[in-house]
Amino acid sequence: MTATAAVVLAAGQGTRMRSEMPKVLHPLAGRPMLDHVLAALAAAGIEEQVVVTGHGADQVEAALDGRVATVRQEPQRGTADAVRAGLAALGPDVQRVVVAMGDAPLLPAEIFADLLQAQADGETCIALLSFIPTDPSGYGRIVRGPDGLVQAIVEEGDADEATRALGEANAGTYAFDAGWLRARIGSVPVSASGEQYLTDLVASAVTAGERVAVLVADRPELAMGINDRIGLAGAERILRLQIAERHMRNGVTIVDPATTFIDAGVEIGPDARIEPFSIISGASGVGTGAVIGPQTQIRASRIGPRSVVWSSVVEESVVGEDVEIGPYSHIRPGCEIGPRCRIGNFAELKQTRLGAETQVHHFSYLGDADVGERVNIGAGSITANFDGAVKHRTIIGEGAFIGVDTMLRAPISIGPGARTGAGAVVTRDVPAGETVVGMPARRISIKRRTDA
Ligand code: UD1
Ligand code: CA
């Protein structure tokens, strides 16, 4: 098997983005566009990858965090110069090189595999990817001879009117014979713009009597390079739809894919239903049969099977099965919600664990709380967990009943089965089974009604 490696170009400035952030780090479906390129290459079986960094190299390298090799191109003297830098970082046994652009994040793995196939089948030094965009302006144009064979790629800036009128554009993705590329890459001429264009290799190959293979992308919208924020939004739209379609094929109902935003890494079980105006982002998971939305945001959280979250926000939390959340509730980071709990309306939870079947209703706040099973948190109840300097914990035992408008001044512990009266301000621990009332709440003895 011939060793194949990829050089991914990511050193350019990306001026047209008008951004402090390097272009290739701008996120698409929740991950940097560069990550989509690397993932597609890996899916095509190309494990050896090197990313050429330059502009914003520190930021790009930090984002890659050692997941893939990088090499710096300094200064940035064009795409041929970038490939030269990348090649120098590859092992000597590499026989075929895929060159990919860090700003073309929609290309599927099959395209890279097909290009390698075209290069091998044709025994050519270059197999390049072309496409027919709706508007080719900005792209290098593919110039073909009367025999239909490619003769050159002419960059827009160097193109005369006739060449500009050509509709076939260069996608910037290639499969090269590594030996041929190594021999040629150093001698690419400097263009009028002062850059060395990788695309000039095509004409020099043809002049030297080599054959150049061309693969025309059958879905041109996937070959586009992102140069500005308009391109970024266009790519986002395409990627979102692809993600939604993948989930729908797996048995997830997405009522309106156009108003549903699901990040690339999200997992959703079959028969889940995603209602309109919902956003599921980060490393989130949604269980079988769950209902998300309408108008719900789930970020870096897991939602259990058959749970329902509507018009609410859940962040960095784990929600068990058959839970109901919403409308208008906010589960902030660090929560663990047990099975069959019910939360809402207007409940806020933070760093809080709820045991099974606990209910947190109407205008309540639980922060830094550990709540047992089958607890009822009455309307308007809150944990006063912050003393101005430090956060304190609240512990509520199983089966406790927190009456409406109770204030629990943390640190505090409410024993299992204990009860608080309406409007109680609880400043001292309440033993199991006791009832407290008033402000500050004091213990009283009441005759318990014995249930029949
Ligand atoms: C390039 C191609 C063009 C093609 C288009 C497809 C060249 C000369 N032109 O044009 O034929 O139609 O892509 O999208 O190759 N980069 C470096 N170092 C550099 C310069 C660029 O790493 O010195 C990287 C950029 O970060 C980017 C990629 O190479 O990821 C392409 O550079 P860009 O300036 O966007 O080239 P285009 O003008 O789009
Ligand atoms: Ca580009």
The set of catalytic residues is 362
Ligand 1 pocket, residue 131 CB under 6 Å: no
* Residue 212 near residue 202 (C-beta atoms within 8 A): yes
309-362 pLDDT, tens digit per residue, is 999 999 999 999 999 999 999 999 999 999 999 999 999 999 999 999 999 999
Averaged pLDDT for residues 4-27: 96
Q: Is 103 in the pocket of ligand 1 (CB under 6 A)?
A: yes
Task: Check residue 2 and give its pLDDT.
Answer: 64
Residue nearest to atom 31 of ligand 1 (CA): 101
Closest residue CA from atom 35 of ligand 1: 227
Q: Which residues are found with C-beta within 5 Å of the ion, ligand 2?
A: 103, 225, 227
- Taking the CA of residue 73 as reference, the ligand 1 atom at the shortest distance is 18
- Measured CA to CA, the distance from residue 120 to residue 115 in angstroms comes to 9
Q: What is the pLDDT of residue 452?
A: 58
CA of 12 to the centre of ligand 1 (A): 7
Higher-confidence residue of 1 and 279: namely 279
- Ligand 1: does its nearest atom lie under 6 Å from the Cβ of 435? no
DSSP code, position 447: P
Measured from the alpha carbon of residue 137, the closest ligand is: 1
Q: Is the peptide bond before 75 cis (omega within 30 degrees of 0)?
A: yes
Q: Which atom of ligand 1 is nearest to the CA of 170?
A: 12
pLDDT at position 30, please? 96
Separation of CA 138 and ligand 1 centre (Å): 10
Whole-number Å distance, alpha carbon 102 to ligand 2 midpoint, is 8
Pairing of strands 169-177, 94-101: antiparallel
Joined together, the tokens standing for residue 360 give: 């947190």
Q: Is the CB of 35 under 6 A from ligand 1?
A: no
Residue nearest to atom 10 of ligand 1 (CA): 139
Contact 32, 101 (CB under 8 A): no
pLDDT at 221 over 60: yes
User: pLDDT, tens digit, for every residue of 399-432?
Assistant: 999 999 999 999 999 999 999 999 999 999 999 9
Q: What is the mean pLDDT of residues 12-25?
A: 95
pLDDT digits (tens, 9 = 90+) for 117-133: 999 999 999 999 999 99
Atom 3 of ligand 1: nearest residue by CA position: 140
For 139-188, what is each residue's pLDDT tens digit?
999 999 999 999 999 999 999 999 999 999 999 999 999 999 999 999 99
Protein residue with least CA distance to atom 8, ligand 1: 197
Q: Is 79 in the pocket of ligand 1 (CB under 6 A)?
A: yes
* Residue 201 vs residues 14, 173, 329, 379, 401: alpha-carbon distances, Å: 23, 13, 59, 72, 77
Q: Which pLDDT score is estimated for 70?
A: 98
Calculate how far, in angstroms, residue 19's C-alpha sits from the geometric centre of ligand 1.
17
Establish whether residue 140 lines the binding site of ligand 1, counting it when its CB lies within 6 angstroms of any ligand atom.
yes
Residue 449 has what pLDDT? 72
Q: Is 81 a pocket residue for ligand 1 (Cβ < 6 Å)?
A: yes
Cβ of 223 closer than 6 Å to ligand 1, yes or no, is: no
CA 123 / ligand 1 centre spacing (Å): 26
pLDDT at 447 over 90: no
Beta strands across the sheet bearing 359-361: 253-254, 273-274, 291-292, 308-309, 324-325, 342-344, 359-361, 376-377, 401-402, 419-420, 435-438, 441-443
Q: How far apart are CA 142 and CA 334, in angstroms?
A: 54
Q: What is the pLDDT of residue 346?
A: 97
The stretch 371-379 carries a mean pLDDT of 98
pLDDT value at position 227? 94
Whole-number Å distance, alpha carbon 377 to ligand 2 midpoint, is 56
Task: Check residue 399 and give its pLDDT.
Answer: 98
**Is it the case that residue 433 has pLDDT exceeding 60?**
yes
Q: Which ligand neighbours the alpha carbon of 57 most closely?
A: 1
Q: How far apart are CA 193 and CA 185, in angstroms?
A: 18
User: Is the pLDDT assigned to residue 398 strictly greater than 60?
Assistant: yes
In tens, the pLDDT along 222-251 reads 999 999 999 999 999 999 999 999 999 999
Tell me what pLDDT residue 332 has: 98
Task: Read off the pLDDT of each residue in 364-391 and give the average, rounded to a whole number.
Answer: 97
Compute the average pLDDT of residues 358-376.
Answer: 97
Residue 23 has a pLDDT of: 97
Residue nearest to atom 22 of ligand 1 (CA): 11
- Cα of 335 from ligand 1 centre, angstroms: 45
- In the 8-state DSSP scheme, what is residue 73? -
Residue 282 is predicted with a pLDDT of 97
* pLDDT tens-digit map of 247-303: 999 999 999 999 999 999 999 999 999 999 999 999 999 999 999 999 999 999 999
Q: Which residue has the tokens 């939305």?
A: 293
**Band of pLDDT at residue 451, cut at 50, 70 and 90:** low
Pocket test for ligand 1, best of 7, 9, 83, 154 (most atoms within 8 A of CB): 9
Average pLDDT, the chain: 96
